[in-house]
Structures are given as structure tokens and as C-alpha cells.
């Protein structure tokens, strides 16, 4: 298997079944970081020594017949916004350049409890406030598929690291496309969950125990190499945690299995009054045909004319 480009679920199964070790999984991803990060600049605040210590402990636990959880031994990175004990959390903002939290955020704690091996943080836009990832502390993240292009923002470092084989998954934040845009630009999978399903506690540095500044619209969600990975990581990080009082006490349900033959799907290859690139229209039409061939009821959507171009003019 190509360890550096395997999915999270594949890596977890391979480690659990003793086909590879946690150290081997870590080695493969660190090798990608060492080879490509200077050009891409996705990974920052690398904790190489700590990651090896955690990976070795994961392997030793398996030797004893113990496994911590569904991510046992799987290496991962985190967007540089999650408060992490013993590691800097800067959000690319000079006043936070040396900020180290006293405890892990709930999301970090849950990923570690599931057996994940944290390697590093990934680059962001300054204070998560731009659609590209560039800041005075760490500079600009490039798109691994074309270094002259942006990886998007503010989770650009996360998306670029996943696409570049530097990590199997990351957890970003999304208020206005900060997960979805970088995922699209870098060709990986990203999920913005329903608001108030994943704890925002410790998701933005609040030195001095200041009141949490972000409460609405922003969501935490995974970036990974496949839909199954998104589902797995979401189930780990979602749900009430006791620290974010905005989260309702509602359990996280298993992702339902959908039967295409029971679905009715509307599609639109373009929007009336709005120009759409020909390649996009063709791709949507091809997908509609594939869904119909698979048994779904597919029909054109009835959309009102937007006249967006006239409004912009």
C-alpha cells in the first residue's frame, strides 16, 4: 500500500491488523513533509519527537493486545486554531506567536482518545480571515497541485497537507467556505457539519480565559481523502462535551446508508441568468445520468431566473 496516500480508514485497519506499524505510518507522512513542505508550506509547528513517542506507545499497546480506538496509531495534523497542550496555537496572528494552551480542546482530546497520533499544526489565514492561507508568522501556503496557485483559506494548510500526502486527515473550521473552498481547490474531501454539532470550545485562542469570541456560523469539520474518512472523524469529534454550552444534548447517529433506488434527485447543469463553465455543466449532466442509471429518479430542477449578470452590470 502507498502509506502516505492511503485513507484514514485504510491506515487504521492496516495498523490494527498489524500489516504496518504506527511508526511506519508516521515515517511515511514525515517523509512527505520533509520532501515537499518547503515548497508547499502547509505544515507548521512540527512535533516530530512527540509524534514518534506517541506512535511507539501505540505500537507497544498493540503488542499487549490493547487498542485505544478507531484511530489507533494513525498520524494526523490539525489546523493552527485548535488549542493543544504543549504546542503553539497562533492562528497566524503575531500577538499569539508564543501562545500555548494549558489543555487540549475537546476536539483534540477526542482525536487523541481515539488513538490518533498528532504530528503538527497546519497553516492558516491570519485570524482565519481570508480565502487564502497567508500570514506574517509562517507565510503563504501553495497548492500542492500547482505551486503558483493558492490552496485556499482559511484551512489551506490542512487541505494542502492532505492532498500532498503529509497527513491522512485534518480538522478545519468553516464560517464562509474555510473548509469547503480549500478542499475544492486541492482536490480533497471536506465537510462543514450542521452548526452546533461539534464543540467550538478551544477552537480559537482565548488567552487569559477571555470569553469565547466566536459563537455563531462557524463549524468544525474534517478534511480527508474520502467520504468514509469524513464520516469516521465526524462521529469521533461531534456531540456534546460539557464545555461548549451551545451544543444540544443530542447523540450523534450513525451515517445512514442510502439506497439510490429510493431517492428523487433534482439537478441543474446551470442557473438561468448565470454563466457556468462548460466543463462544469457537462460534469453535472454526466453525474445525473450515472445516478439515473443506478436507479435514482432524476429530473431537471425548476429554477427561477436570477439575472445576476444584469444586477452586477
Tell me if residue 133 is catalytic: no
The closest alpha carbon to 80, from 41, 53, 25, 112, belongs to: 41
The answer to whether residue 154 is catalytic is yes
Burial class (CB in 10 A: 0-12, 13-18, 19+), 292: middle
Strands 219-224 and 146-150: unpaired
The one catalytic residue in 6, 7, 142, 178 is 178
Tell me which of 6, 45, 79, 192 is the catalytic residue.
79
Q: Are 163 and 187 in contact (CB under 8 A)?
A: yes
Query: What does residue 222 show for φ and ψ, rounded to 5 degrees?
Result: -85, 155
Angle at 58 between CA 112 and CA 108, to 5 degrees: 10
Evaluate whether 84 touches 206 at the Cβ level (below 8 Å). no
Euclidean distance between CA atoms 23 and 42, whole angstroms: 22
The half-sphere exposure of 241 on its side-chain side, counting CA atoms within 13 A, is: 21
Helix (H) or strand (E) holding 143: strand 142-143
CB 190 within 8 A of CB 180: yes
Q: Output the CA–CA distances (angstroms, integers) from residue 109 to 78, 84, 103, 299, in the order listed.
A: 12, 9, 9, 45
Catalytic residue among 6, 154, 199, 218: 154
Phi, psi angles (nearest 5°) of residue 138: -125, -5
**Rounded-to-integer distance, Cα 122 and Cα 82, Å:** 10
Any catalytic annotation for residue 7?
no
b or e along 216-228 (b: 16 or more beta carbons within 10 Å of the residue's beta carbon)? eebbbbbbbbbee
Q: Which sequence positions are flagged as catalytic? A: 79, 154, 178
Amino acid at each position: 500500500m502507498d502509506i502516505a496516500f492511503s485513507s484514514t480508514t485504510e491506515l487504521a485497519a492496516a495498523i490494527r491488523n498489524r500489516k504496518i506499524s504506527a511508526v511506519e505510518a508516521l515515517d511515511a507522512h514525515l517523509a512527505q513533509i520533509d520532501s515537499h513542505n518547503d515548497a508547499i508550506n502547509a505544515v507548521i509547528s512540527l512535533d516530530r519527537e512527540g509524534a514518534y513517542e506517541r506512535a511507539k506507545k501505540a505500537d507497544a499497546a498493540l503488542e499487549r493486545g490493547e487498542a485505544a480506538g478507531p484511530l489507533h496509531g494513525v498520524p494526523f495534523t490539525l489546523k493552527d486554531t485548535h488549542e493543544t497542550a504543549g504546542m503553539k496555537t497562533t492562528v497566524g496572528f503575531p500577538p499569539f506567536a508564543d501562545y500555548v494552551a494549558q489543555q487540549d480542546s475537546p476536539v483534540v482530546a477526542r482525536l487523541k482518545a481515539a488513538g490518533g497520533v498528532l504530528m503538527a499544526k497546519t497553516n492558516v489565514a491570519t485570524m482565519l480571515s481570508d480565502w487564502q492561507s497567508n500570514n506574517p508568522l509562517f507565510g503563504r501556503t501553495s497548492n500542492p497541485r500547482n505551486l503558483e496557485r493558492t490552496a485556499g483559506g482559511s484551512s489551506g494548510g490542512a487541505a494542502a497537507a492532505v492532498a500532498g500526502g503529509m497527513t491522512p486527515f485534518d480538522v478545519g473550521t468553516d464560517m464562509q467556505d474555510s473548509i469547503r473552498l480549500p478542499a475544492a481547490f486541492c482536490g480533497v474531501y471536506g465537510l462543514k457539519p450542521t452548526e452546533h454539532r461539534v464543540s467550538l470550545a478551544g477552537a480559537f485562542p482565548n488567552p487569559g480565559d477571555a470569553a469565547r469570541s466566536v459563537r455563531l456560523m462557524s463549524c468544525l469539520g474534517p478534511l480527508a481523502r474520502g467520504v468514509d474518512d469524513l464520516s469516521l472523524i465526524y462521529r469521533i469529534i461531534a456531540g456534546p462535551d460539557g464545555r461548549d454550552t451551545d451544543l444540544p444534548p443530542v447523540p450523534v447517529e450513525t451515517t445512514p446508508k442510502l439506497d439510490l433506488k429510493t431517492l428523487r434527485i433534482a439537478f441543474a447543469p446551470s442557473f438561468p441568468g448565470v454563466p457556468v463553465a462548460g466543463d462544469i455543466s457537462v460534469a453535472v449532466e454526466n453525474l445525473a445520468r450515472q445516478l439515473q442509471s443506478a436507479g435514482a429518479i432524476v429530473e431537471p430542477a425548476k429554477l427561477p431566473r436570477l439575472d445576476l449578470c444584469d444586477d452586477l452590470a
